[in-house]
A and B are shown apart, each in its own frame.
Chain A
Amino acid sequence: MTWRDLQLRMRALLFRRRAEEEMDAELRFHLEMQARKHREAGLAELEAGRRARQEFGGVAQVQEECRDGRGIRALETLLQDVRYALRGFRRAPGFAAAAVAIIALGLGLNTAIFTAFDAYVLRPLAVRDPSSLYEFSWTLPNGREHRATPAEFADFRRTSTAFAETLGFDMFFTRVEGHYLFGELVTGNYFTMLGGDAALGRTLTPDDAPAPGTQPVAVLSFTAWKNKFARDPEIVGKKLVVRGYPLTVVGVAREGFPGIGDLPVDFWAPLTMGAQLQGGSNLQRNRRGNIEIVGRLRRGWSPSRTKASLAAWAHQYTADSPFAEKAVNVRLLSRASTLAPRTATLAAMSSFLASFGLVLLVACANIANLMLARAMARQREIGVRLAMGAARSRLIRQLLTESVLLAAAAAVVGFGISQATIGLAVRLLYATTPAGYLDALNLVSLSPDVRVFAFMLAAAIAATLLFGLMPALQATRPNIMQAARGEFTTDFRPSRLRHALVIAQVAVSALILISAAILLRANLRIGGVDPGLQSAGVIELDVEEPLRERVVQQLAADSLVQSVAAAGKVPFMGQLPELVVRPAESKDRHRARFQMASPEYFAIFQVPLVRGRSFTADEARGDAGVAVISEATARRLFPDRDAVGRTFRISAPHGPGMPMFSEARVIGVARDAINGWIGDGTDSTCIYFPTTLHSAGTVLLARVAGNGDAARQRLDASLARDIPGAIDQIHSVDEILAVQLYPFRVVYWVSAALGAVALLLTLTGLYGVLAYLVAQRTKEIGIRVALGAGWGQVAGLVLKQSLRLAAIGTAVGSLAALGLARILAALIPNIPNFDAAAFGVGMLLVFAASVCAAWMPSLRAARIEPVATLRCD
């Protein structure tokens, strides 16, 4: 169709009435001319007219041919169907409102979750040519991903030709002037390669990184400048103290420049400042390799070709490395969007999308049942139209038009629901995030874009087909012969389809509710586990090394502080590091986790020593070859004897954060506790090696009196006042635990909310089916009552139907939940393959809802008056 054709069709549509009038006039004239011709031939007037009409044929058919010639048939039919549908909605506003509301809820929730998915995974970064940016890393024989050290990165840039240009970055989290910020150490070409301009001052250039530690400069992001530095117009030239080092702000990046990273970046500094800001003697930060390499594909090179080149480079580069450090595979991930499409990320996002999609399915099944009931009520009309020659496809199109209008209205309302849902979710996120981490919340923009609108459109179309097509197909199958005989009964009951829809709803509800129950119990399990140590009232302080001594002195003098200890890492924050040990009397080697702990550690966390003693101050200061081991470790290394007094050899490279001796003697056995990640449960092994409050790289732990959060703030304020810049981060250990548990809680809350929505929709769907059933069987129930059936028997009839549908749906849903439970068990800790209590709770909820749904219809059935129903027959 050309533009001219479209213009003609639009004109024909807009001036349709005039065209019809002209056509009518023309045809009338034609008939008159024909009649006149016959009169002139000698026929009487009446006969001439009759002959003319006979020769002309059907006027209506001629008119139809003319209309077909205009090429707007389809549009005219569509307009007719729309008007007809709107008239129908005006006659049944309750049905229309309910249908729009239910579908809008499903569409709105799905659009909300898709908006988040789009913002983090699909939306291209606002950088130059994001689709050509790829992150490179290689994997080690143990399956772990290796990130480059500064030396490896420099070698890569010098020797690899896989990328057209390469940048490196290392993200870290710190506090600056009381604000938690995400910073990135970046190569000098970062901004030029990504096309990041400055809104104020300038961005970083290669001249800013001539040699390590020589150019302490920084560029702020526009968002950080706006939200955390109050859009200070004099910010350029000011100094920001980052981890004890003053960085001069040389510029603010343009608005909307996101940088590259899994989270929005607040500031950038040269990678050559890494030793000062990330490494050095600080154990928390001196990670062996953490530079992320991002390159731009060469023109004409595909990702697979680039990956092959990188694999060849990685194998050749690590050929002479020890086996444990050889590259066995390479990873090339697109960096076009905020979150790189890692398997774990996509799996988590997909499961969320699928869960929300199930709720939309339930909503569609609900409306399909309503549409079916409505269509059944129009059987007489449909039968007559089919008998008069209407094509089935024409009727189906008309019924689908109703569905399209409902879906369109639902899409508009659903968009509003999605925006409201997103707003509510963000507010809830801010309201429930532990207070000490609120400042660190850094969300990308969740505003809708073209992809979100396209998703809404696709979802609305899918919903239309799902809830509109089946009822349309079903309703246009009435028996023509019956209609031809004038028998327009409503005997045609597609109960099988209706029941199948309800069973599907019940199954999905059961699946979601059982999943929510599984997650709830996992939450309770994780949250209720005894960590074996008292974390309440303990504050963790991440100290700047040059100021450590002053901080230790101040803490010792503070009346709020009851005791101070030091540790390699704070409990609950990630897994403990590992090394290989061998008991002296055995040849067996064991991998064991370890924690550096000062003598005060056990007292501060109230971890009892069940055998032996803790470290003395001299042992801690002198790096004596002693260790305290956990009960589980004692059982593993020394199964049949008292571990105290035994020795074991340590196979681990010496270095910061590692024990400085090759052999250790066990001086005590501590009660099992959780020093590592809370999700792993009690440490399977834990060896405590001695350290001191003054050892570089350890975190300080202070037990305080009173309310932990208030104490944290007071302590933070006093240290910031007396020793500015001394504390990088300060959190209560309880807050650290809460943050570790938070994602599990979010997953549970979301699944519980979805389960509630699905259950409510299922309840209404079940109620609709049962109400229809009672209406259909009114005569039968009337007869039963007349023959002596009691209230209980009649109500039982309805209830039995409800429970039958619920039983089948629950069985199907439970089977699906069995499979889902195994997936959850593989992804989330503390979830068994089969949690009988969770299954029981989920199924019970569904059955309870089914009984509730049957309540009103049962009452209605029980109140049926047999005299009235039989008289109406």
Chain B
Amino acid sequence: MTDPVLLILASLAEGDKHGYAMMEDIERFAGVRLGPGTLYGAITRMVERGWIRGVDSEDRRRPYCLTAAGRRALEEQTASLDQVLRTARRRLLRT
């Protein structure tokens, strides 16, 4: 899983958002500003993989939401990262 994908999943875990809102949210919680190409390219790939899907909307804003598969993918990734972080902290404390 690439960073942009993880960041987008994390952003959508809070609730449905359109692309611009995701970019703003990610910049706030991760300090990373994703470029439009990276953002929308990742969004397209994640829609293809079935991790997120577009929500029907009347206006030009097209919010996306997390699917059950996306939620599972996020849970797996966070658990894996969590394991890495705990190991790293433990080792740091020993030295």
Q: Which residues of A contact B (CB under 8 A)?
A: 4-5, 8-9, 12, 22-23, 25-30, 33-34, 56-57, 61-62, 65-71
Contact = CB atoms under 8 A, between A and B. Distances in A.
B37 A61 contact: yes
A314 B28 CA distance: 90
B41 A65 contact: yes
A61 B41 CA distance: 10
Ranked nearest first, the 4 interchain pairs of A and B with the lowest CB-CB distance are: A69-B44, A65-B41, A69-B45, A33-B20
A68 B41 contact: yes
A29 B60 contact: yes
Query: Which secondary structure dominates chain A's binding surface?
Result: helix
B48 A23 contact: no
- A12, A61, A66: residue with the most chain B Cβ atoms closer than 10 Å: A66
Interface in B35-50: 35-38, 40-45, 48, 50
A61 B37 CA distance: 7
A4 B50 contact: yes
Contact of B48 (A33, A62, A69): A69
A8 B50 CA distance: 9
Contacts of A61: 37
A151 B35 CA distance: 91
A56 B42 CA distance: 16
Contacts of B20: 29-30, 33-34
Contacts of A69: 40-45, 48
A25 B37 contact: no
> How many of chain B's residues touch chain A, expressed as a range?
20 to 34
A69 B51 CA distance: 14
A528 B50 CA distance: 81
Contacts of B62: 22, 25-26
Contacts of B38: 65
Given A33-B20, A34-B20, A26 B48 contact: no
B44 A66 contact: yes
Nearest to A12: B48
B5 to A, nearest CB: 11
B37 A70 contact: no
Given A29-B61, A57-B35, A71-B48, 10 more contacts: A8-B50, A25-B60, A26-B62, A27-B36, A30-B20, A30-B36, A33-B20, A62-B40, A66-B40, A69-B41
Contacts of B71: none
Contacts of A56: 36
A541 B94 CA distance: 111
Given A12-B48, A29-B61, A30-B20, A23 B40 contact: yes
Interface string B1-36: 000000000000000001110010000000000011
A558 to B, nearest CB: 91
A26 B42 CA distance: 14
Nearest to A30: B20
Contacts of A57: 35-37
B68 to A, nearest CB: 14
A26 B55 CA distance: 13
Contacts of B41: 62, 65-66, 68-69
5 contacts: A27-B40, A62-B37, A62-B41, A65-B44, A69-B48
B48 to A, nearest CB: 5
B48 A8 contact: yes
Contacts of A66: 40-41, 43-44
A59 to B, nearest CB: 8
Nearest to A64: B37
A22 B62 CA distance: 8
Contacts of B42: 69
B60 A65 contact: no
A30 B21 CA distance: 9
B89 to A, nearest CB: 36
A30 B19 contact: yes
A585 B62 CA distance: 116
A37 to B, nearest CB: 9
Interface string B38-80: 1011111100101000100000111000000000000000000
Contacts of B23: 30
A28 B36 contact: no
Contacts of A34: 20
A65 B48 contact: no
Contacts of A62: 36-37, 40-41
A312 B58 CA distance: 87
Nearest to B42: A69
Given A22-B54, A26-B60, A29-B20, A70 B40 contact: no
Nearest to B33: A55
A29 B17 CA distance: 13
Contacts of B61: 29
Nearest to A36: B20
Contacts of A70: 44, 48
A70 B62 CA distance: 17
Nearest to B35: A57
A29 B37 CA distance: 14
B49 to A, nearest CB: 8
Contacts of B48: 5, 8-9, 12, 69-71
A143 B62 CA distance: 85
A53 B34 CA distance: 15
B40 A26 contact: yes
Contacts of A26: 18-19, 40, 60, 62
A22 B64 CA distance: 13
A317 B42 CA distance: 78
